[in-house]
Chain A
Amino acid sequence: MKVSLTRRYRFAASHRLYAPQLSEEENRRVYGKCSNPYGHGHNYFVEVTVSGAIDPETGMIANLGVLDPFVQDHVLEAFDQKYLNEQVAEFAPEKSLVPTTENVCRVIFQRLKKFSAAHLERVRIEETSNNSFEIEEGADEAA
């Protein structure tokens, strides 16, 4: 039997999908409206799944009193109410990493991997209620 715990968080941010190695026309063709130079925003939901043994003393895999501030400090503080392309280090212009939600997912997984109180299993992000992206343990080796 395997048990996991999933906590849902939210942040709001703006981004622009633009690959500097492509021309303006190619960017428009690939990203469409998402390449609008002024950017646009979303209300993102982030689901963080951790697994591990249930501590018999607390009945918990991870105490939300520990997980919530960790996610707050390592992700929400950095992403909420920000322009991802310029205000989140991993997407700084010199990094040439387009802040698609695939890449946001991977960056958030990397940031949360430092969580030591339980095993990080999965990060799932809803960019809108129609689009979701997820990354699981072991799938991020290429990052």
Chain B
Amino acid sequence: MIRITRRVEFSAAHFYHNPNLSAEENLRVFGKCNNPHGHGHNYALEVTIAGEPDPTTGMVLDLKELKEILQAEVIDRMDHRHLNYEVPELSGQIPTCENLAVAIWKLLLPRITQGKLDRVRVYESPDLFADCTAGNSVRGEARS
């Protein structure tokens, strides 16, 4: 089994606010990220596909095809957008990189028909990233 990974970047705005919490609680829980004017990041997305190379093409999945899928499902939806207002897949959720990784996983899963979606990694900055994988650990089950 071989894993291949494609990286793309997009830039987007967000802020963290839970309408069920008071203004003080929001500030306490989310700190600077609660600034209602929002702030932005250069996100990097790494998508890993696992599978056996096709004996004819030598490819697990044509990276050109993966690039087009990422363009349509992620870049076109999220690049230069405000994640709180313009991305329906995140509606009703706090747009953390954990939730973003889960939302991207769900968008990509039905689109990967050759090889298997193995991992979605979303970097919010070089020092912070979230991974979404196929594991079915109860402890790691996403509730959102």
- Residue numbers of A with Cβ under 8 A of B are 1-9, 49, 51-61, 63-65, 119
One of A4, A9, A54 near B143 (C-beta < 8 A):
A54
The reply to whether A54 and B142 contact each other, CB–CB distance below 8 Å, is: yes
Q: A54-B144, A56-B143, A59-B93 are in contact. Are A2 and B137 (CB under 8 A)?
A: yes
B residues in contact (CB < 8 Å) with A: 16, 18, 20-21, 29-31, 93-99, 101-102, 105, 126-137, 139-144
State A110–B129 Cα separation when bound (angstroms).
22
Output the nearest chain B residue to A51 by Cβ-Cβ distance: B140
Shortest distance in angstroms between B47's beta carbon and chain A's nearest beta carbon? Answer: 15
Find out whether the CB atom of B99 lies under 8 angstroms from the CB atom of A59: yes
Instruction: List 10 tightest A-B contacts by C-beta distance, closest first.
Output: A59-B94, A2-B135, A2-B140, A59-B96, A8-B127, A51-B140, A59-B99, A4-B131, A53-B143, A3-B142
Residue numbers in B under 8 Å from A4 (CB-CB) = 130-131, 133, 140
- In contact, A58 and B96 (Cβ under 8 angstroms): yes
B residues less than 8 Å from A64 (CB atoms)? 128
In the complex, which residues of chain A have a beta carbon less than 8 angstroms from the beta carbon of B93? Answer: 56, 59
* Contact yes or no, B140 A57, CB < 8 A: no
User: Please, how many angstroms separate the alpha-carbon atoms of A119 and B94 in the complex?
Assistant: 21
Q: Is the CB of A6 within 8 A of B129?
A: yes
Known contacts A7-B127, A8-B128, A60-B94; is A53 also within 8 Å of B141 by CB? yes
Contacts known (A56-B143, A58-B94, A61-B98); A51 close to B128, Cβ less than 8 A: no
- Interchain residue pairs with CB less than 8 A apart (17): A1-B105, A1-B135, A1-B142, A2-B140, A3-B130, A4-B140, A6-B129, A7-B128, A8-B127, A51-B139, A52-B139, A54-B143, A59-B94, A59-B99, A60-B96, A64-B128, A65-B29
Chain B residues with Cβ below 8 Å from A52 are 139-140
Q: Determine if A3 and B132 form an interchain contact, defined as CB atoms under 8 angstroms apart.
A: yes
A7 to B131, CA, bound (A): 11
- Beta-carbon nearest neighbor of A119 in chain B: B139
Report Cα–Cα, A137/B29, bound state, in Å. Answer: 28
Inter-chain CA distance A21–B139, complex, in Å, is: 43
Given contacts A57-B18, A57-B21, A60-B98, contact A1 B126 (CB under 8 A): no
